[in-house]
Structure formats: C-alpha cells, structure tokens
Structure 1
Amino acid sequence: MEGRRVPKSLFVLLTCGLLAFGALVMLVRMPRPEDPTEEDSSDSPMLAALTANSPPGGRRNDKGPLLKEEDAVCRSKSCIETDILREPAKPDDPFQLNQAKDFFKACISTGELEKVGLKPVFQMLQLYGGWPILSPPGTWNATNFNWWRSMADLKRMFGTSSIFDIVVNQHLSNPNFSTVHLQQPSLFLSRPYYINKNNFPSYLTAFKELIVNIVKELKSSPAISSFPNLSGPLNLKYIEAKAAEIVAFEEEIAKLSRDGVETQYGLRNFTATLTLNYLQAIFNNYTTPNSTNKVCKDHIINGPMLFRKILKIIMLKPSCIMDIKLELKKLLDFTFRTAGTTISETQLVSMSDTNYMGNMFELLSTTPVEVLANYLHFRMLSWVVSGTTAAMRGHIHKYQRVVYGITEPSPRSLYDFRDYVCASSTEEKFGLALTQPYLNRVKIGNDVVEKAADMMEQVRKSFIQLLDSAKWMNSSLKGSLRKKARTITPCIGFAPWMSPNGSEFDRHTFQEHLNNHFAGLNIGNGGYLQKLWNVRAWLTDQKLKLLKERFVPGCKWTTFPGQIGAFYDIRRQAVNVPLGLLQAPFFYDGVPIAVNYGGLGSILGHEFTHGFTVYGWTETTSGKFSPISQCLIDQYNRFKVPEANLHIHGALTLDENFPDNGGLLEAYKTFKTFAPKTPQKLPGMTKFSQEQLFFIGFANEFVDAWNCPVGSPMNPQKYKKCSAFN
C-alpha cells in the first residue's frame, strides 16, 4: 500500500468510525481484581499480570519503536532502573540506594529462592495459627487463631484488606487532619465476577484450582517434615471441598459489598463518624438474628438520639449480643503498633457503609472459624507464594491465563522478565533513592521542565476562563472554585535539590530528604521474603502515620521522577507531573504546540480538573448526579466492546471521564489561544491541520477537526454532546 493515497471518504470513515472503536477499547473499565501475582507490589497488585504480557524490553528509542538489538541504547524507564540496580553497592552511595540494590538482588536471585524453598511460608502460617486446609481433616486446633489479628497483619504486613479495610482519610470538615476510616475490603477476585458469575464460571473455577494447587505444592514440599501436625496423605476431595468454601465465603463478602458507584456516591445516608468508644458501644450491642452463637437478653438501649439513629442505620436489634466480639481499640492498636501512633478512646472513626459493617457481623457470626482462618490465610499466601519457587509461580501464571488472558512470561532478547518485575517493584518502594542515578542517565533539560510548567499555568488560566463562562454556576460557587484553582500547586519534573549536579547545599538537602522519607526502614539481612515483609510493613506504617500528621499544601517530592504517570494529590492540593512524562510520546521538544497540548496539555488539564469533582459540579447538594455528570454517564454507558459483551459503567468511571472531558477542553482552549497565525506543520504529516494535530497528539479524534459526518460514531445525531463546563 506504500505510496497509494487513501480516498478522503475512506479516511473520514477510519478516523470517525474505526478509530472510535480503538478509543472505546481503551475506555472500557474492566473489573480490576486484586491480583496475587506481584508479590512485591503494595499499590499495584496487577503489576506482574500486566508486565507478563508487555515487552520489558526496554531498550527503546524514546521517539520510535523498538530498535534493532545491535542499535539498542538503554533509554526506557525499566531498562535504566535495572542498570542502576545491577550496579554493585558502593560505600559512598546513600544507605537507602544500597538497600534498594540489596532488595533487588534478593528478588532476582531465583536460585536462592529455590534453595530456601517453602519453609518461610510454613513458618508464617504457624505464627497465625496455621492454615486449616493443610491439616488432616478434623485435626486443626483453633486455639492460636485470632481472626482480627490475622486481618490486622494482612493489612500491616501485606498491604491489603480482607474482612474490612482500615485506612487513614482526610477529615471531611478539617482537611488538615485525618480520621481512621473503616470501609469494605478489596477482594481476591473482583466483585463483578461474583455478581455476574454466570458470565465468568471459569474465573471462579480458576480461583478454586489455584487454592488447590497451592495446597498440593505445600503438601509435597520437603519443608513440611518440620511440621508433624501437617503430616498425612493428600486428601484431594477434602482439599477441593475446603477450597470451594473459601471461594464461597468471598462470594458472600462480594454480595454484601457495593460497587464503586454506590460506595462513592450513594452512601451519604449510611456514613457515620463517631468517637472510638462510642462506636465500640454500638458494636457491643450488635445482634444478628440468624446467629447460632448468640446470647439473647431482653434489654433496651437508652442513649442519645444520635446513638439510636446509628443503631437503626446499621440494623442493630438491641435484644441480643453476639459472642463474636470486635474490640476496636485492640484491633487499631495492633494495626498501628509499629506506626508510632497511639489510638485514644476519643479517636474519630468513620465508616463509609454502616450497612456493610452490620451485615458483615451477621456473616461472621454464622461462618465456621475454620472457614475464616482458611480464607484469611489464603489471602496472606496469595501475596507471598510467587516470591518463592518456580513451581508456585507456575500456578500463579496458570491462574493469570484464565482470568487475564496473560501468557506465561518468557525471557526476552534484551532483558529477563524477572529482572523487569523486580526492578519495577524496587522502584515502587525505593524510587526516591534511585532519583540521582536516574537523573544522571536521562537527558531532559531544565528548559523542558520550564516549558511544561508554563503549559500548566496556561491550562490553569484556561480553566478559570471556562469556569467564568459556565452559565449554570452562580457567582458564589464560581468564586470559591476560582479561589481553589489559584491555590493548586504544580509539581513538575523534579525539585532543584534533587539534581546530581547541584551545590553542596542541594546534596545535603537531598540526603536529609532521603533520611526523613526512609526513616525507620531497614530491610534486614534475612532472605527475600523477610526483606519483603519488612519493607511492606514499613510502607503500610507510612500510610498509617498520616493519622497524626498535619497536611501541608505543596509538593512532597517523594515520587520517583522517572514515573510515567501524573496524579493529583488531594491532600496537598498539588498536580504532580514526574519527569517521565516530559518525553515522547507525551511531549516532544521542537514540534508544533498543537501536538504537545494534545498530549501533555490534556494530561495537565485532566489532573488539574481532578481537584473539582465535587463542589456541586459532579453532584448536587442532595447527593445526586448533576446534569453535567448525568450527560457524561449516559454518554459512556452507550460505549460497548462487542468482543467482551460489556458496556462502560459510566457512573463507575465518572471520576476519570469528568477530568478527561474537562482536561481536554482546557488544553484545547489553551492551544487555540496560543496557536500561531501561520499554521505549524509536522514533517511527514503536512496534510493535517493544527486542530487535527492536536487530536493526533491526544490520540483521539474530534468532530470539527476531522469533519466527521452527522450520524458517524463520533458525531451521533440523536445524543446530546457533553461538556464539563456547560
């Protein structure tokens, strides 16, 4: 086809029709399960699943496709990270950088992982009272099992949740401070797979088979000989039955949980913030009508109206008391025990769904303790087994193939898959320590950072102008939004004191920042799993410590500058744009401004708009969706991927669709303001207008720029077009 011209009619069809399908594929929000495969990731549990099917390759030209191996230059983020971490530790390097290298080395040493085997896994299980499914039928002793202790350490040591989650959230009325927040948990297999299980029968089967395979692997391990109470023949029928109980128990949790829309938008009448001792009194008087283990008493709770209102909200019937006790003070003390935070009886505790908490107590009261132990300890195992033997990782990959369609990883021509996973995991935990070696290797000048910062300021101005033009807003709301828009802090690239070529003062400042950020972290001299548990516990502590920290607006500068992903820090009211985004394909130096505003500009606008998803904009004062939100919800609900037979869940994705829409409008307005009178052309793409270049940079298409005919997928006649501002 080279050299042949595409007819205009066909070109319009491709841009306005088929490309719409390509955009649609990217927009569908598939259910996001909590994946066990990346044993090292506290914030991105799907990392290994995603990277297993993407080229860790690494040696890419920043402005083009993969290079031939003989021309390869290490420029990609993953390649640079691996090169840094493979360098020997140096006495003069910061201690934190050498810890990162030590962690990476332990992670990639698969030979040592095989040598150590599964003994640490058995030892971990014994600490929490054992995994009943491993014991011969009827022999497990529940004496050393404590459900809330296991739940607390699942959060503290593994960074995940199970029965309910414990997080630190901003106080609603005083954003400078925080509260302890109880909310529904993340699940191993995502909630939609249970709610629509008839559409995903193979997923639930794969979940059960994964449990069975892990048990079989443990039962066949030589390490089991050190634990006589677990000896005995393999009873496959028994193991399969217990695995089915684990899956069934999580399905019950899924039924009690709400989807993201209900959790975020529909629970204002089911949210409570109380002092710890007040909330404990409510739980002390909780009853479950279906419980077989309860003590019934005829008594009436007399208390303030608020107390009785909360009882009603969580459906308490104060005539009975469960024998399953939850001592919140002990639970929180145990969870926060290494975070240096004391929990008082008057600590404010909020719950986003009091109905869930009440229903969960009902479920706990009717669930055999053995099922509870099996479930909680499987959740622990799911985060560590892929950090052990190749056989265990094989079972994980088998599960991945079913649930995610991911093929088994294999070594690549340039970089081994394990190197890639371990480098990504290390960067996630020690990213700040890798900053100066990274900046030494990339060649992105300060002028690029300054250009991006200027783009951010121009996008801010466009936001305010679009805000002023919004006809539906009253002057009071506009004034408060305008004030907030002027206070949002841009954190672009990296801080000046991070530069490896800075002054002595800068070097001292950077080392001081490292010391403060990594205070309390020592990964130790043990094996990989011990290092992993140490760093995971430290990471969780950093999040829990926020309970007593005052939030100060501005840049925190703890993100690895090579990270490819911007974000809005709601606590600090800051837009964070790491250096990794200030390069292709998001930003090109010396190209028409249309391309950069369509790429980086729309990202800046998106993150800036994240700061305004409430304030009566996406929701009315009554908690209902605003007309603007409803328009976007309806628009996205119409998108469907036939292959998956799924529509986008417009309400569930509103928190991203709204900034997408607003950010694009802001970037486009800024581009139009500064577009030169003489159109700039891009070599090799001279036939495209500036407006078309903008949307090429955005990787999308637009009705006016592409002259999409009425009735085409991107210019439907019967539906209203949506704008975040009007």
Structure 2
Amino acid sequence: MAPRGRGPPRGPLLLGGGAPRLMPSPPFLPPSLQVNFRSPRSGQRCWAARTQVEKRLVVLVVLLAAGLVACLAALGVQYRTRTPSVCLSEACISVTSSILSSMDPTVDPCQDFFTYACGGWIKANPVPDGHSRWGTFSNLWEHNQAIIKHLLENSTASVSEAERKAQVYYRACMNETRIEELKAKPLMELIEKLGGWNITGPWDKDNFQDTLQVVTSHYRTSPFFSVYVSADSKNSNSNVIQVDQSGLGLPSRDYYLNKTENEKVLTGYLNYMVQLGKLLGGGDEDTIRPQMQQILDFETALANITIPQEKRRDEELIYHKVTAAELQTLAPAINWLPFLNAIFYPVEINESEPIVVYDKEYLGQVSTLINNTDKCLLNNYMIWNLVRKTSSFLDQRFQDADEKFMEVMYGTKKTCLPRWKFCVSDTENTLGFALGPMFVKATFAEDSKNIASEIILEIKKAFEESLSTLKWMDEDTRKSAKEKADAIYNMIGYPNFIMDPKELDKVFNDYTAVPDLYFENAMRFFNFSWRVTADQLRKAPNRDQWSMTPPMVNAYYSPTKNEIVFPAGILQAPFYTRSSPNALNFGGIGVVVGHELTHAFDDQGREYDKDGNLRPWWKNSSVEAFKQQTECMVEQYGNYSVNGELVNGRHTLGENIADNGGLKAAYRLPGHWLHLQLQGVLGTLPLPTRLAHEPSSQV
C-alpha cells in the first residue's frame, strides 16, 4: 500500500521479497499474470514501499483506526442481554499473551497511545543490523523466509518441473564455493560480449543503438527511459507499449539536486561506482574515478529533466497516446522502429503502432541530452546500468560493496546476513510464482479464501456507507462511486493456475535453470521475463492475472483492473488467523483492506471508472470540492516532521487519503459485524477491562 509504480517493477526493497541488492530484479510475470510495470503514478498501490516518515505516519493512523474499531466493539458488547463469555481457546490465550507483552502499560495512552500499545514490542524487537526499519511486516517476512527455505531445501517427488527450477536456482545461489571461484568473470565476459566498457578497457565503437536494444530487452535495464507493456489506461481491455522516464541510479532525483543536503550519499555513491569498476578489472582509481564522475554528472543531468513525482499525479494531464512515427519526431536521438522491432521480436511494429507516452517533455529533453553527449560516455552509462543491476550475483566482494553503500545511504549497520536469506529473497523475487504452490500448501488453508472474502465484504459495506456521508459529493457522482466500489474485484491468496502443475509448467517451459551457475541463471531469467512481457503486446489483459507472488507480505490496488489483491503471505498472523475471533481479523487485515479500497478513490484512483478506464466520470463540482478537501490534507501532512524531516504532503497524498479513508471505514465497521457479537460468536478476550481495546492496535 505505497505509491503505485509504473516502469520496471521492484525498485526499492519491498518487505514481501526481493534480494537485498541495490537494484532488485523485476518479478517474473508470466502469461497468466499481470504485466503492469508502472511507476509511482498509476500502477498498483502497495503497502510496503514507503519512506520512514510515511511508515510512522501510517502506523499512527492504523493504531487510531484499530483503536476505534476495538472501542466500538467494546461499546457494542454493552448492549448484549447476557454476560459475554470469556474466550479461553488456544488462539485467544495466544493473542492475549501477545497483546500484553507488546504493550507498555507504564505509559499514559492519552499522552502517547503508540508507545502504550506497542512499546513492549519495540523494546523486544530492536531494529536488526543491516535494516533501516523494522515492524510486523518485517517480522512476518522473516517467518515466511524460513518456510520458503525449508521448502526449497527439501525436494519431493511430487513437485512440478517449475518448482524444481526454483530449487535449482536457489541451490545455485547457495553454492558460494562456485561463485567465489568464478569471481567477476561472468560479468566481465558479458561486458565484452556487449562490446566493452571504457572503464575496464579501451573502447571506441559506434554501437549505441545495438547496446541500448540488448540491455533493455535481454537484461531488463532502463537507461534513459523505460519501455514496457501494460493495459492502456484509457482502454483497459487492451495492452499497449508504454514509455516513461527512467535512468537514475539513486531512488529519487532529490539526491542529485539537493547536493549540500545529500553530499554524503553522493560521495558514497561515487565511491561505490569506483569500487565496482576496480572489482571488474578497471585498473587504478585515478583512471576510474574521473569516468565514474562523468557518469554521475550524466545521471544528475537526467535528474534535472526528470519530472518530480508530485507533479505526475494527475494522470489525465500526463497521458499521451502517439504513433511510433510521432515518437520518432518527439525523440529523434533513438531510431524507434528498429529499436522496438528488435526488443519486441517476433511481433512486428510499424509507424502506426500506438504508444502511450508519459512526460513528453522529458522524452524530448532526454533526446537532446543524448545527441549532445559523447558516445563513450553514453556507453559507459548504459553499461553502468547493467553493472549496477547484476553485480550482486557475483562473489562476496560485490556483496560487501553493496552493503557499504547501503550503510551510507540508509545508515544501516554492517551485518553478516546469512546466505540463505539472500538466496531465499532472490529466488522469491524471481521465481516466486514457481515456488508458490509449495508455500500455499504449507501455509494457506483453502477455507481462508472464503473467510477473507467475508471480511472484505463487510469492509466494503462500511466503506460504501462512508460514501453516503460525503456532503461535498453530488448524487450522480456518489452513485457512480458506489457502483465502482461494488465492482472492485477481490484476489485472495494466490492465482488458481499455480495449483495446476501442468499449467504452471507451461508458464515456465521456456526458462531453464542450470546447476551451480547462479549468474547465468539470473541473466537467463531477465531475458525470459522480457520475452513474456513482449508476448503480451497482442493479447488482451486478463483480470485474473497477478503482479505479486503468493509469499509476499504485501497488498495492492490496481486501477486499470479495479481490483484489490491480498497474497497468502500477508494473510497470516498478526494480520489474519483462521482460528481467531473475527474482531481480531477485522482489526488486522481489515485495516489493510480498508486502505486498499480507499485507493480506488484517492487523487489518482478516482480518475479511473469501474471498468478501469481513465476518464472524467466525476461532475466538475465534486472534482473541485475533492481538490479543496485534499489541499487541506496536503497542508496538514506537509507540516508534520519526523526526525527533523518534513513530510512532502503532495507526494504522499494518495497514501494519506487511503489511511484516512481506512480510518472512516473502520469507524463504521462495527455496525456490520455487531450482530456477530450479539449472537455470542466473538466472545471476549481474557484481558482486564481497561485493556479490552488493544487487540488490533498492534498491527
């Protein structure tokens, strides 16, 4: 539930997965899965990828929402005609113990509710070395990692061929002896295959177009811009080529432009670049550093023309559909037809091919930048993109370099991360759907889908009630909004195709993992996943496709599909437990559900109708009233400061709307499930009366 992403997926580390590398590889999205590579503007909204400031604000809102739910539940109990029974089941006793141990009863909840509810948990769970943050999401992912490790290391005769490929990939990653023997050789050979790199040896070629084509398709990098296939925002029943801004090595343009504030990070990044160049045989530092500085300066030039995310939130304004011929006129530095035909082969692209472009101004400016830049620097920059993405598949020296830069970037302490955790994360990040059946069978009961569906239904009812209270919304828009809420499609646990071995094997048929060759397996995967992406171009989007793997501790809303997705990985304690009273599940996963539902009506989601099409379906009066409401919220959050850092209220607007919408849905929720208490289904936890409001305050 974070800013949605357009462009190659898995940028910053998601708590639900991803190898701990600087730039994680994209997840595989087979034909039966969602191919929706989108940037923080109009892709799926997910929970995990947030800044530290946003995380703390979200936690505060969740605590308030959960507290309201629990308080109203307690008030509802007062209307029962008989004394509620105390729940003494194993689940209730376990939850009670967890609640008490997580609290800090020495704190006045009226002064500091967060510490009162969660102070005990914070004391018992300090942020581990190597991490910049830690919470219940992190804890659950650690738990899921241990399960995946056991499954990958214990092969059975009943697993499918796709599952075996995941095991081969994992074991190759775990073969440190072989990886240390090869050292930098695999990447050095790849660089030579691409024509060389002036950092590691003399270079004087004229192969800009060829190199750009190969690194874009075979190795899934995005220098200068990103190219991908996704549902057309204005015609959600059709896939279309999309082009967007890309190319920065650091997470945000602000790192490059606010040089005084980020001097330490920029110096650390340059040192990291120089270190990788040396490890790849680049010779002495005096030769490498000036060229790496040129690459950093080029990225800074890209940052200068990159449009800030807060200015990209109105999708009606930034959406432009052009033909390939018009794209050639817009950005003539690229020979677009040869480029597109090469990366989408065997699909034929002609001058009339429709292409959705975001930030036309950026593409025009990046074209000028390319034309005005020396060809050697352009090649150095493109190969650096490749090196940055693939170096973590090499020996420990490269891992150490990554870790050292992360320490500068996020202030994380150096840690000896067990190799198995790195390999589990990377295997899940790449082949998470292939290993999905093993994880689902081990963790997810089939009736959990039905139980979770009931929870979502109740949250939807509460959410629709909240729409009825919006005095600033006109009746026609309110009616359409309720229709959109009713039409939201629920995806729970896992996509059905993964549980059919034949279907799963068909999806991964063209991918081969080689024993003991970790780097080679990763490169094969990049090429394979692009071929799958390209194959989607002439196919219609599938509503049953997924863009998150089953083990992921995460959730998202997709506007072009008008659907919310909750993988099996998040449908576990403390968010959801089959044996727990519904009140606890409402306070856990219910908060997440309410947040995702609200994304359908935040400042970006509201632009999409019930069929997932980008169009102006709100009346102008309601649009203006909505903007007035949100400006107030931008100002409110823009005045919040955490650790001396002001929140960017406009950049976080979508998340703030979702948090507040979830709060209102939670406030109304008890009206729908109070009848369960009246029937004696919920019972009560064996807690002192003054603590009866805590069960869902600690998610």
State TM-score, norm by structure 1.
0.72
Paired position in structure 1 for 2:352:
346
Q: Distance in 2 between matches of 1:163 and 1:600?
A: 39
Asked whether 1:523 is paired with 2:513, we answer: yes
From 210, 219, 239, give the equivalent of 1:149. Answer: 210
Q: Distance in 2 between matches of 1:132 and 1:117?
A: 20
Q: Distance in 1 between matches of 2:656 and 2:395?
A: 42
SS at match of 2:565: strand
Greater shift after overlay, 201-210 or 463-472? 463-472
Paired position in structure 2 for 1:405:
411
Deviations 1:631-651 (A, max 9, x none): 322222122113xx3111121
From 524, 540, 543, give the equivalent of 1:534. Answer: 524
Paired position in structure 2 for 1:46:
none
Paired position in structure 2 for 1:211:
273
Paired position in structure 1 for 2:367:
361
Greater shift after overlay, 520-529 or 399-408? 520-529
Paired position in structure 2 for 1:465:
465
Q: Distance in 2 between matches of 1:64 and 1:422?
A: 17
SS at match of 1:132: coil
Q: Distance in 2 between matches of 1:204 and 1:530?
A: 31
Q: Distance in 1 between matches of 2:271 and 2:213?
A: 27
Q: Distance in 1 between matches of 2:176 and 2:402?
A: 16
Paired position in structure 2 for 1:42:
none
Paired position in structure 1 for 2:203:
140
Paired position in structure 2 for 1:584:
573
Indicate how the Cα distance of structure 1 residues 597 and 207 shifts in structure 2: closer, same or farther if over 3 A, else same.
same
Residue 82 of structure 1 deviates from its aligned partner by 0.8
From 100, 109, 112, give the equivalent of 1:14. Answer: 112
Indicate how the Cα distance of structure 1 residues 64 and 203 shifts in structure 2: closer, same or farther if over 3 A, else same.
closer
Count of aligned residue pairs for this structure pair: 577
Q: Is the 8 A contact 2:221 2:389 kept in 1?
A: no
Greater shift after overlay, 115-124 or 663-672? 663-672
Asked whether 1:688 is paired with 2:691, we answer: yes
Paired position in structure 1 for 2:435:
434
Residue 50 of structure 1 deviates from its aligned partner by 10
Q: Is the 8 A contact 1:179 1:350 kept in 2?
A: yes
Q: Is the 8 A contact 1:89 1:98 kept in 2?
A: no
Amino acid at match of 1:251: T
Residue 548 of structure 1 deviates from its aligned partner by 1.9
Residue 578 of structure 1 deviates from its aligned partner by 1.8
Indicate how the Cα distance of structure 1 residues 556 and 686 shifts in structure 2: closer, same or farther if over 3 A, else same.
farther
From 179, 199, 205, give the equivalent of 2:261. Answer: 199
Residue 262 of structure 1 deviates from its aligned partner by 1.2
SS at match of 1:453: helix
Q: Is the 8 A contact 2:247 2:299 kept in 1?
A: no
Paired position in structure 1 for 2:236:
175
Amino acid at match of 2:601: F
Q: Is the 8 A contact 2:344 2:534 kept in 1?
A: yes
Amino acid at match of 1:257: T
Paired position in structure 2 for 1:668:
667
Paired position in structure 2 for 1:483:
483
Q: Is the 8 A contact 1:193 1:203 kept in 2?
A: yes
Residue 109 of structure 1 deviates from its aligned partner by 1.0
From 188, 197, 208, give the equivalent of 1:131. Answer: 197
Superposition RMSD in Å: 3.6
Residue 403 of structure 1 deviates from its aligned partner by 0.8
From 164, 181, 188, give the equivalent of 1:115. Answer: 181
Residue 621 of structure 1 deviates from its aligned partner by 7.5
Q: Is the 8 A contact 1:449 1:582 kept in 2?
A: no
Q: Distance in 1 between matches of 2:409 and 2:137?
A: 34
Match runs of 1:115-514 below 5 Å: 115-135=181-201, 139-143=202-206, 145-146=207-208, 148-189=209-250, 190-219=252-281, 234-265=283-314, 269=317, 271-284=319-332, 325-337=333-345, 340-410=346-416, 417-442=418-443, 444-494=444-494, 510-514=500-504
Q: Distance in 2 between matches of 1:169 and 1:572?
A: 11
Q: Distance in 2 between matches of 1:50 and 1:164?
A: 36
Amino acid at match of 1:142: K
Amino acid at match of 2:634: I
Paired position in structure 2 for 1:30:
none
Residue 371 of structure 1 deviates from its aligned partner by 1.3
SS at match of 2:109: helix
Q: Distance in 1 between matches of 2:365 and 2:133?
A: 45
Deviations 1:142-168 (A, max 9, x none): 24x32x433333332333312111122
Residue 108 of structure 1 deviates from its aligned partner by 1.3
Residue 125 of structure 1 deviates from its aligned partner by 0.9
From 541, 553, 560, give the equivalent of 1:564. Answer: 553
Indicate how the Cα distance of structure 1 residues 152 and 452 shifts in structure 2: closer, same or farther if over 3 A, else same.
same
Residue 18 of structure 1 deviates from its aligned partner by 8.4
Could you list the runs of 5+ residues in structure 1 that have no partner in the other structure?
24-48, 67-73, 221-233, 285-324, 412-416, 500-509, 700-726
Residue 204 of structure 1 deviates from its aligned partner by 0.9
Q: Distance in 1 between matches of 2:107 and 2:278?
A: 61
Indicate how the Cα distance of structure 1 residues 557 and 216 shifts in structure 2: closer, same or farther if over 3 A, else same.
closer
Indicate how the Cα distance of structure 1 residues 83 and 693 shifts in structure 2: closer, same or farther if over 3 A, else same.
closer
Q: Distance in 2 between matches of 1:64 and 1:215?
A: 33
Paired position in structure 1 for 2:56:
none
Q: Is the 8 A contact 2:474 2:619 kept in 1?
A: no
Q: Is the 8 A contact 2:685 2:692 kept in 1?
A: no
Could you list the runs of 5+ residues in structure 2 that have no partner in the other structure?
1-99, 122-126, 609-615
SS at match of 1:272: strand
Deviations 1:62-113 (A, max 9, x none): 99999xxxxxxx99210111111112474x5311111111111111111101
Indicate how the Cα distance of structure 1 residues 382 and 191 shifts in structure 2: closer, same or farther if over 3 A, else same.
same
SS at match of 2:426: helix
Q: Is the 8 A contact 1:489 1:574 kept in 2?
A: yes
State TM-score, norm by structure 2.
0.75
Amino acid at match of 2:108: L
Q: Is the 8 A contact 1:459 1:601 kept in 2?
A: yes
SS at match of 1:176: strand
Indicate how the Cα distance of structure 1 residues 203 and 283 shifts in structure 2: closer, same or farther if over 3 A, else same.
closer
Q: Is the 8 A contact 1:78 1:420 kept in 2?
A: yes
Indicate how the Cα distance of structure 1 residues 400 and 264 shifts in structure 2: closer, same or farther if over 3 A, else same.
same
Indicate how the Cα distance of structure 1 residues 246 and 693 shifts in structure 2: closer, same or farther if over 3 A, else same.
same
